Structure 1
């Protein structure tokens, strides 16, 4: 029986969406090493026992392919978009670290394990922002895996729908005078319009040289989710676990939307584009849902063109 999000909160568990995202990453290990988009040894430890069993089955030769095949049939493009965007964000983050970024903020961090699996992250301040029940579940898992939590990581309990990110981050030691790299992966569609607006406006006040990479869902897809027979299953699942999509954006309006909030759009791509970059460009996964999108945004600054040119190469 699938528990609702409220039931999981009461039992101290993280949301289903955080667990599914970790499951998608865990399944990457079922592929040959040279085929994997990344190595995430923590992902399988963050998921429930049934999903762990399915992950182990997926690693069996030949018959294990049934697991991702069935998953992709249920939600075409959901898994492949998830792992491709994880790799895309990893690439941008790694470059930012190489360029000297000293603060990383992961909004809606869920079971994100970048602070523990990417070596360069050990040398910067990392702020993991999420709701208390999710961070509590994560701390317990990490304590069992690592023994001692890294001192470079600070957990910031924040519900973006009801709390001001500026206040909670500041209290946690975030320095707005130093450039930061913000990651907002798989979160905006679950927030209110006001929460997204408030968060973006805060990010625009941080130091020049700061970047934000966020994902969002096309607004038209959210409106048609229940009506379209291709997406009806996902709509029913989201309703059942009480994690419905509530916010979307229109790509054609995104540059002006961000400009009004003190941010500059560097690039905005749909899931087909970034799946093609990292997966077989002729594979069946390209026929999956195209409404997942990823946008790279820069805090307004003078003489920013060299950095913008670099980041654009990732989306070419």
Structure 2
């Protein structure tokens, strides 16, 4: 789904930002040879390993700006602006599989900061898990997985998707200064409540 979002928007965007990019190579795949500024942000150690590995394998990545951030002591927004991000340019923000590890208020704060950085035509693509998934109620398999990672990186944030999941997600985005423009839900075809969704949003 995130690949589809990249294909949908990448040619009309002037900038691409991946906060918490991790080891994902989606930016390399979809921006090579295109006239677009690309910014990836993550912890220092993560980016060091990523860049070192790319260099060892001979994979070109020189058009991507890697921005190390100590999230506990630094502002990712300040670091992004300092690296050359332009608030006047149309931007695609891709925030994938990060929010479930954060407290609710930090998720809201981060999305509000993204909204503030958005020029007209910018899009924020984001995924959300349900509270049932985070708590392990969704399935026994999920519950076992949650227990395995709890000590290292516990899941914290989910949206209550039991009743009217679209409205619940849209309401949360509105609180962050965003308007939902698209949503894909996962779980409906299994006859259960949605446990995950991917959304597209723009600044209110």
TM range (shorter): 0.7 to 0.9
- Alignment correspondent of 1:238: 149
| Correspondence for 2:180 among 262, 265, 270 | 265
Structure exhibiting the larger radius of gyration computed from Cα positions = 1
Aligned CA distance change for structure 1 residues 160 and 220 (closer, same or farther; 3 Å): farther
Report the TM-score when normalising by structure 1. 0.57
Aligned CA distance change for structure 1 residues 119 and 173 (closer, same or farther; 3 Å): closer
1:188 aligns with 2:99: yes
Gaps of 5+ in 2: none
Deviation track 1:137-192 (CA, whole Å, cap 9, x = no partner) reads: 10111111226531x21111225565433211111111111110010111110112
Q: Secondary structure at the match of 1:178?
A: coil
- Alignment correspondent of 1:51: none
CA offset at residue 110 of structure 1?
0.9
Tell me how far apart the structure 1 counterparts of residues 78 and 184 of structure 2 sit (CA, whole Å).
31
- Alignment correspondent of 2:130: 218
Aligned CA distance change for structure 1 residues 121 and 101 (closer, same or farther; 3 Å): farther
Q: Secondary structure at the match of 1:123?
A: coil
Tell me how far apart the structure 2 counterparts of residues 259 and 226 of structure 1 sit (CA, whole Å).
27
- Alignment correspondent of 1:294: 198
| Correspondence for 2:85 among 174, 177, 184 | 174
RMSD (Å), alpha carbons? 2.6
Aligned CA distance change for structure 1 residues 161 and 254 (closer, same or farther; 3 Å): farther
Deviation track 1:280-316 (CA, whole Å, cap 9, x = no partner) reads: xxxxxx589951221111123xxxxxxxxxxxxxxxx
Tell me how far apart the structure 2 counterparts of residues 158 and 271 of structure 1 sit (CA, whole Å).
32
Tell me how far apart the structure 1 counterparts of residues 103 and 180 of structure 2 sit (CA, whole Å).
21
| Correspondence for 2:26 among 114, 120, 137 | 114
Gaps of 5+ in 1: 1-87, 277-285, 301-316
Name the structure with the higher strand share: 2
* Structure 1 segments (4+ residues) deviating >4 Å: 159-162, 286-290
- Alignment correspondent of 1:138: 50
- Alignment correspondent of 2:61: 149
1:95 aligns with 2:12: no
Q: Secondary structure at the match of 1:204?
A: helix
Name the structure with the higher helix share: 1
Q: Secondary structure at the match of 1:176?
A: coil
